[in-house]
Structures are given as C-alpha cells and as structure tokens.
C-alpha cells in the first residue's frame, strides 16, 4: 500500500541531517532575467519532455520523474515555474473555486499564459487545497515573480530573489529560515558581485546544492529572454549541456532522460546507473547507511519507511520491474520488520509478479500487524478467488 509522497519531503538519519529540498534563484537586470533551479530528491530518474505548440498553445518543456508529474516547466514565452514541498499550511479559501487536478491547471497555465499576472488571475479561481503542503513559484520574462502559498499569493519584482522550502508569509526575514543549504547559498549571494551570466547563476546554485541521501540531482539555468537552458547533472557544476528551447520544440513532441544528455563516465551517469541496478536496487541506501547500527524505531522516527516505499513503487510502477520492487521491499521489512504498510507493499509486488503464495504471506503479516488494514483483507480474498477460478 503506497503512501503518497511528494517530490520534496524531509528526512534525517543518524548522520548529519539531510533534507529533500528544492531551491530557486532569479536575477533581473536591464530587462533580462536569469533563473536557476536545483531539484533535490532521492531518485535520479529525472526527465525532460517537450510538447510543441499549436495555433492555440505555446510550446513547453517540462521536468519531472518517471511518473510524468511535472515538477517544473518553461514555455516559449519565457514563463517558468517550479514546485516546492513545504510544511503543512491549511488552505481555507476553497468555496466556489473550480475543482481541477493541479497538473491540469499547470498545463493550461504553461500552454496559454505569458506572464505571472495572468497566472494569478487564473489560479485565483482554482481550488488550491492540494497545496496544503507545497507552494508554486512562477517567474516571467520581465523578472516579476508570483509565489502561491495556497490561500496567499504574492507578486514581486525585486531584482534578486531566492525561494526554497519555506513560506515567506511565515518569516520576518531570511535569517529566520532554518535550512543550512539555503543559508549557505544566501551567504554566497551576499558576498559576491551579481553578474547577468549563466556562469554566475550556476555558481550560485552550486552553493544551494544538497548532498547525501537526497542530493541535487540536476540543476537548470534559464535565460528567459534568449530561451537558453543550461543543465548540470548531480552537483557537477564544472560540466553542463546547453540547448535552445525553440529549436528543441521544433523537433516536435519528445522526451529524454537527463542522464542520457551526459557522458557515460560522468559522476552523475555513474550514480544513475548504480541507482538503477536491478540486481541490487538498494545499493545506494546500503552504502549511505554503512555500518551504522540503527533501530527500527529510529528508522520510523526519521520517515525512512517513506524512502523505501517511494523507491519500491518507482521500481514497481514506473520502471515496471516487480522483481526489483520485491528486492526493495524485502530490504524494507528486514530493517523494519514490524511495519505493516511495508509488508502490504511487498505483498503487492509479489502479487503483480504473480507469486501468489508470497503475496498472501505478506498480506497476512501486514494484517497481523494492523488488523484494520482493509486492503490486505481485500487482496487476500482476491488472490483466493483467482486461485479458485484457475482451478475450475
């Protein structure tokens, strides 16, 4: 049974605390705007996909994981957005608002809108209750930005602005932000001379980068006037690929794994291949944990079950490799043997792989740990019916 896990959730281990985060920086000068963005997550399976424009829509480049849920995008009019995980903040202003899946709303924005004021007018009509643990940031070619915190929307046009996993509405100053990676980036900005160059923005984003269990998987630098996009992979800011958005859109609809843009011997591609090793899909986790003695309760206290579930379901649903998923969930129940939901997830992986005996065994174990698990009851009944039909 999968827990719903957003792209940016926070986890810490016994070694120094590591957060899953996203950072964004925008700089505007003399009518030109450059935006940098770090995407930080456990999985390196990130991709770009391009949707060409029509007579009624703009062309768009989206970024996200294998589930095709857009974590960010830029359109051919120089409008860019990124999403951020945030602490829970209740959204109350939902009465008479339009009910629409947030990804559909974002697709309409990116395909039809050119500036953040248009975005604000449209999203003011939408029920944004799905943003109770997240926010959206848009920046347009003029350098004007829009922050959406569910009920609150803020327009601004300062020459320089940074965004990350905090609400501007909840702080008095940036000094209140208790995010070490963010403060490191802020320190760099305070002590350097700003430059309207992609190189400078890359250097700035290198100072906002994260490492360890949820590292910066890739960094994008956008010139919103020239529509040039620079991409760095896995905190390697000495190497990059660069492309022209309009030329990419002229190729028609297409997609690419970000790792495929880089040399096979690069640090990021080696990391990508290690992560996607079907024979040992938990290798990176095991290397990170090392020889540390960690109790099941400590794993649970730090939300490590979400890491296991997220990894397992990526193998199961996105990579389409149930055997890989089984190995992940087996590792999960080995280190957290009393976790009902992980046994349920393992049961599902076995079920999809048509190993019904093992599926029932793990659903039963899940049910013994949590007698209220209706999914386990339903799945055991379903498997028994399938067996009966097969024997008839």
> Whole-prediction pTM value?
0.90
For residue 25, what are the CA distances in angstroms to 189, 205, 206? 10, 8, 11
Q: Are 318 and 65 within 8 A, CB to CB? A: yes
Q: Cβ-count burial of 253 within 10 angstroms (0-12 exposed, 13-18 middle, 19+ buried)?
A: exposed
Q: Are 51 and 253 in contact (CB under 8 A)?
A: yes
Helix (H, G, I), strand (E, B) or coil at 218: strand
Axis crossing angle, helix 374-391 with helix 356-369, rounded to the nearest 10: 150
Q: Are 149 and 89 in contact (CB under 8 A)?
A: yes
Q: How far apart are CA 76 and CA 110, in angstroms?
A: 9
pLDDT at 349: 98
Return the closest-CA partner of residue 256 out of 87, 57, 50, 67: 50
Q: How far apart are CA 25 and CA 219, in angstroms?
A: 11
Burial group, residue 6, by CB count within 10 angstroms (0-12, 13-18, 19+): middle
CATH of 10-271 given 2.60.40.150, 3.60.60.10, 3.40.50.720, 3.40.50.300: 3.60.60.10
Q: Determine the pLDDT at residue 9.
A: 30
CA nearest neighbour of 188 among 164, 175, 205: 205
| Tens digit of pLDDT at every position of the chain (392 positions) | 544 333 333 333 333 333 456 999 999 999 999 999 999 999 999 999 999 999 999 999 999 999 999 999 999 999 999 999 898 999 999 999 999 999 999 999 999 999 999 999 999 999 999 999 999 999 999 999 999 998 999 999 999 999 999 999 999 999 999 999 999 999 999 999 999 999 999 999 999 999 877 899 999 999 999 999 999 999 999 999 999 999 999 999 999 999 999 999 999 999 999 999 999 999 999 998 888 899 999 999 888 999 999 999 999 999 999 999 999 999 999 999 999 999 999 999 999 999 999 999 999 999 999 999 999 999 999 999 998 887 76
Residue extents of the structural domains in the chain: 10-271, 278-391
Domain 278-391 belongs in CATH node 3.30.565.10: no
Q: What distance in Å separates the CA atoms of residue 379 and residue 363, rounded to the nearest whole number?
A: 7
CA–CA separation, 188 and 204 (whole Å): 7
Separation of alpha carbons 189 and 182, rounded Å: 11
Pairing state between β 228-233 and 22-29: unpaired
Distances (CA, A) of 203 to 221, 224, 281, 287: 10, 18, 32, 29
Angstrom distance (rounded) from CA 312 to CA 321: 10
- Neighbouring C-beta atoms of residue 391, cutoff 10 Å: 6
pLDDT value for 115: 98
């Amino acid at each position: 049974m999968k827990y719903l896990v957003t792209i940016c959730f926070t986890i810490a281990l016994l070694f120094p605390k590591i957060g899953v985060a996203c950072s964004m920086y925008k700089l505007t000068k003399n009518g030109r705007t450059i935006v940098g963005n770090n995407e930080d997550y456990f999985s390196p399976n990130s991709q770009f996909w391009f949707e060409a424009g029509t007579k009624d829509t703009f062309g768009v480049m989206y970024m996200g994981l294998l589930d095709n849920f857009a974590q960010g995008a830029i359109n051919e009019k120089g409008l860019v957005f990124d999403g951020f995980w945030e602490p829970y903040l209740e959204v109350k202003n939902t009465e008479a608002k339009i009910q629409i899946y947030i990804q559909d709303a974002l697709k309409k924005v990116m395909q039809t809108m050119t500036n953040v004021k248009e975005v604000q007018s449209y999203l003011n009509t939408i029920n944004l209750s799905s943003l109770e643990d997240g926010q959206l940031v848009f920046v347009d070619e003029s350098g004007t930005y829009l922050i959406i915190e569910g009920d609150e929307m803020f327009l601004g046009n300062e020459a320089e602005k940074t965004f990350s996993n905090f609400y501007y509405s909840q702080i008095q100053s940036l000094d209140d932000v208790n995010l070490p990676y963010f403060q490191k980036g802020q320190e760099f900005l305070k002590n350097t001379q700003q430059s309207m160059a992609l190189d400078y923005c890359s250097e700035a984003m290198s100072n906002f980068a994260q490492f360890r269990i949820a590292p910066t998987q890739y960094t994008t630098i956008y010139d919103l006037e020239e529509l040039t996009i620079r991409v760095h992979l896995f905190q390697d800011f000495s190497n990059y690929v660069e492309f022209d958005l309009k030329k990419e859109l002229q190729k028609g609809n297409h997609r690419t794994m970000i790792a495929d843009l880089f040399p096979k011997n690069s640090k990021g591609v080696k990391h990508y291949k290690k992560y996607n090793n079907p024979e040992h899909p938990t290798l990176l986790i095991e290397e990170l944990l090392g020889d540390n003695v960690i109790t099941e309760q400590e794993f649970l206290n730090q939300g490590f079950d979400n890491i296991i579930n997220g990894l397992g379901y990526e193998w199961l649903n996105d990579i389409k490799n149930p055997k890989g998923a089984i190995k992940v969930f087996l590792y999960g129940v080995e280190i957290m043997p009393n976790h009902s939901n992980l046994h349920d997830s393992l049961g599902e992986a076995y079920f999809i792989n048509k190993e019904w005996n093992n599926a029932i065994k793990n659903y039963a174990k899940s049910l013994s740990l949590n007698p209220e698990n209706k999914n386990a009851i339903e799945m055991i009944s379903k498997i028994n019916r399938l067996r009966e039909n097969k024997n008839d």
